[in-house]
Amino acid sequence: MVSIHKTDSITPFQLILIATTTIGLNNHVFAISPLIREVGRDAWITVIITMLLMMLWIPLLMYIHKKTNRQPLFEWLKESIGKKATNILTFIFISYLIVMAGFTLRETITWISILFLPETPVFLITFLFIFTCWQLAITSLRTLNILNIFLLLFITLLGFFVSFANIQYKNFMLLLPLLEHGYQPVLSGTIYQASGIAEIFLFLLLQHKVQKPLNWRHFVSIILILTLLTIGPLIGAIIEFGPTEASIQRFPPYEEWGLVSLGNFVEHVDFLSIYQWLAGAFIRLALLLLLMKEILPAKAGMLKNKYLFGFSLIIAGIVLVPISDFRFSYLTANIILPGTFLFFFSFSLLISVLVMISSRKKRGSIYEI
């Protein structure tokens, strides 16, 4: 069994909390708008179907986790397929993590610029935010975990607050009729919800820092949590605005904050959503950068932090690419979200094949002895 670094280790429960914040931002915010546009009022059925389908993926993840003996995944790859092949996979994986981080930061900066800081230069907001994330990423996983626990507590409380405060505007009859356009839209929308759940593959990149082995309950738990994180604001948007209005909104979860009022004297509390989004984006970007540091070869040593700074500049550059918001929304729905699912699912299949080949080689060498 691989030794765990006790000074920078976390429990499986803490890993689930980190996943709730990082992956939850994708499911809770980014995936909802494409889901409603694609599926309409039946989008919540899509979320449930996706949950059931993704449960079938858990045995494959458990197989990889067990057979790699909780080693750092890319170190195991280096021992199994050699340095050159591993370097290629490292480059591909880090490149996609950069794309994910760039997408997250771009959506966040766009939201901030449109709604709260329209006069502030985009480049200034971008560099200040990514620099703060880089500062957290170069510390340790345990530091990120401690900060995440604190931030997630208030993210959760505010989520329940907006849900209960808007009960007066909810019309559950807007969920009917069911399947008015048949099963095809429901099934075609699964790719958006699956794009977030597929990110649980990132669990395996941190398996060497988890104090106990992961089991199927941990994977089931996070899939259930991610499903609830999507279905809550998704149904809320449909029953508060109607499927037609919700489908044209850029950020439906934020629009729900605009409805909140407490009596006749307390309203316009949508500024609280700033905390929710920025806290989630902060932890997500910091974790993606930290994962890049974990993937980099051990020989990089003290240069890892400098590499991370370079990656941060690339991520900031993605935000500053001159592309319209409409074009970016199209890329999100048709390339980035589907691509995320295909990337992680394909990578899990590749690793499982390599694990199977490695296991057979080991059994063969034992028989020869």
Report the pLDDT value the prediction gives residue 347, as an integer from 0 to 100. Answer: 95
**What's this model's pTM, rounded to 2 decimal places?**
0.93
Neighbours of 158 (CB within 10 A): 17
Report the pLDDT value the prediction gives residue 109, as an integer from 0 to 100. Answer: 93
Q: What is the pLDDT of residues 82-110, one digit of tens each?
A: 999 999 999 999 999 999 999 999 999 98
Q: What is the pLDDT of residues 274-324, one digit of tens each?
A: 899 999 999 999 999 999 999 998 777 778 999 999 999 999 999 999 888
Q: What is the pLDDT of residues 4-27, one digit of tens each?
A: 556 789 999 999 999 999 999 988
Residues 113-117 have a mean pLDDT of 84
Q: Is the pLDDT of residue 227 over 80?
A: yes
Neighbours of 177 (CB within 10 A): 9
Q: What is the pLDDT of residues 315-369, one digit of tens each?
A: 999 999 988 888 888 898 899 999 999 999 999 999 999 999 988 876 655 545 5
Strand partners, 267: 261
Task: Report helix angle 83-115 to 337-368, nearest 10.
Answer: 160
Q: What is the pLDDT of residues 185-215, one digit of tens each?
A: 999 999 999 999 999 999 899 999 999 999 9
Give the rounded distance of the alpha carbon of 212 from its chain centre. Answer: 23
Q: What is the pLDDT of residues 151-177, one digit of tens each?
A: 999 999 999 999 999 998 899 999 999
Return the DSSP state at 120.
S
Q: What is the pLDDT of residues 43-75, one digit of tens each?
A: 999 999 999 999 999 999 999 999 999 899 999
Q: Structural domains in the chain?
A: 8-354 (1.20.1740.10)
Q: Is the pLDDT of residue 2 over 70?
A: no
